[in-house]
Amino acid sequence: MSEIKKKSHEEEHRGHNPFVHKLDRSAILVIIGIIFLFSFSVIVVLIAPRFVDDTWTSPSSPFQVQMYEVADPNYYMSSASSGGKELQYVNHIRQGNTLLAFKETGNLRIITTPDLEQYVSRYNENGLKLTSRLLMIRDPEGEMVDKAVHLQKKMQEDWIAYHATATKEEVAKIKYQFVELYDPKVEEAFAIDPSGGIIQDWIDENFIILDSEPKQKFHKDYGVIYVQNPREFRIIPVHYGEGMRWRYDSKGRPVKDLQELTSPMMGFYSRKQLIELGEQIYAIEGCWYCHTDQTRTLIEDVVVNGSDSFPAPPSSANEFIYQKITFPGTRRIGPDISRVGVKRPSRDWHKAHFWAPKTASAGSIMPAFQHFFDNDPRGTGSSAIGIPNYQFEAIYQYMMTKGTRITPPTQAWWQGKDPIKTKEIIEGLRKLP
């Protein structure tokens, strides 16, 4: 690259003026070559894969679809401080949309009018009856009270007849709970969920849907999510200083509509909103710099994420199709979170851990996330004076989706029902095809 040479080129090219003319061959070749090679690889590695591998877009099971599209948007929760001792969980039930089951258990009996009799799954009956007609249960009212008293007496007598040697004290203990199935004649209602579960009620065999035709596309799947024995969520609004608050009371008035439920006074958020918020929090807090979200196809990963008896199946592409951001991660200086919903389901543990990770798990280098609780230790307790800050609940709900939604719980890997047979593979009994 001598100076003289350059200068001679310079002289030669003085005459070039029009723009295209100046784009000489070498420059054109460089540009075309770069674009050709680059677009070729883009087509193969960036565009093609999702059309070649359908697990990139198809769900892992109908259960996964229903959890995200049916259960989450209709499941509401609030930690508003006046809501009572614990979090409040409410199912949003809609006529012709939500599947309901009215099932008796060992000490719960359902009484109802003859026209609703067909919807009750009796205690000794096999199979579960489901309907999308909006019915609810309540404590017996009106003539149903007499019916309940009568039935209680009869059942105790039956019990005594069956257990001939029973003492008086034992008989007194034989209490049955009676509830009434009734038709509230509304289009939508809110039902309290006492279990507050992470995993929805789900049935995949031995059930019938009593509707004449499926009202919703998911009702045609082999397994369905349903709500069992819905009991109306009733509140009493109370004056509190200048403003209004509310508390749960079975003798109160029903919540008017979704707008009231999600109003700032009541402070309910759907689980869908919370999970999305949790994903955002996971992003902005940078959790993903230290925690991976993938069980790799390595023995160390399936074992470390497994339960006591069964290894976790490796993460598959379709587990992530409902996430706007996916955080597979590059570094693991905190445990992997892809199966945390199964490994650590306890809300209390997570509360304690986010408040003070170094106390909850000795030797941890995780920062404390006390701002999830407004830096107020009362937020970590389950007392009535909770901190109405949804950051903890959001990140918790987000984490609880991890590993719990691949298959319905009836076919779950933690029960050993693992279609990939991870255990046999890691023990060397079976090889992948």
Site for another protein in 56-75 (CB under 8 A): 56-57
Structure tokens at 166: 């029973």
Q: Does 50 bind another protein (CB under 8 A)?
A: yes
Q: How many CA atoms lie within 13 A of 209 on its CB side?
A: 25
Q: Does 325 bind another protein (CB under 8 A)?
A: yes
Q: Are 69 and 224 contacting, i.e. CB atoms less than 8 angstroms apart? A: no
Query: With respect to another protein, which residue has the nearer C-beta, 30 or 171?
Result: 30
Binding mask 400-429 for another protein (x = CB under 8 A): -----------------------x--xxx-
Q: Binding-site residue total for another protein (CB under 8 A)?
A: 99
Query: With respect to another protein, which residue has the nearer C-beta, 121 or 404?
Result: 404
Instruction: Please give the residues from 279 up to 318 whose contact with another protein meets the rule CB under 8 A.
Output: 279-280, 282-290, 292, 294, 296-301, 303-304, 306, 308-311, 314-318
Query: With respect to another protein, which residue has the nearer C-beta, 220 or 371?
Result: 371
H helix or E strand, kind and range, residue 294: none
Query: With respect to another protein, which residue has the nearer C-beta, 83 or 335?
Result: 335
Q: Does 27 bind another protein (CB under 8 A)?
A: yes
Query: With respect to another protein, which residue has the nearer C-beta, 53 or 143?
Result: 53
Query: With respect to another protein, which residue has the nearer C-beta, 50 or 175?
Result: 50
Instruction: Please give the residues from 349 up to 368 whose contact with another protein meets the rule CB under 8 A.
Output: 358, 361-368
Q: Are 348 and 393 contacting, i.e. CB atoms less than 8 angstroms apart? A: no
| CA proximity to 216, closest of 66, 105, 30, 362 | 66
Q: Which of 7, 168, 173, 185 binds another protein (CB under 8 A)?
A: 7
| CA proximity to 134, closest of 189, 193, 180 | 189
Instruction: Please give the residues from 28 up to 47 whose contact with another protein meets the rule CB under 8 A.
Output: 30-31, 33-35, 37-38, 41-42, 44-46
Instruction: Please give the residues from 328 up to 347 whose contact with another protein meets the rule CB under 8 A.
Output: 328-335
Alpha-carbon distance of 234 to 189, in angstroms, equals 10
Q: Does 18 bind another protein (CB under 8 A)?
A: no
Structure tokens at 240: 């509190």
Query: With respect to another protein, which residue has the nearer C-beta, 35 or 186?
Result: 35
Sign of CA dihedral 305, 309, 314, 320: negative
Kindly list the distances between the CA atom of residue 397 and the CA atoms of 340, 365, 374, in Å, as whole numbers in the listed order: 11, 23, 18
DSSP 106-173: TTEEEEE-GGGGGGEE-TT--SEEEE-S--EEES--THHHHHHHHHHHHHHHHHHHHSTT--HHHHHH
| CA-angle at 266, arms to 260 and 268, nearest 5° | 90
Instruction: Please give the residues from 225 up to 284 whose contact with another protein meets the rule CB under 8 A.
Output: 279-280, 282-284
Q: Does 26 bind another protein (CB under 8 A)?
A: yes
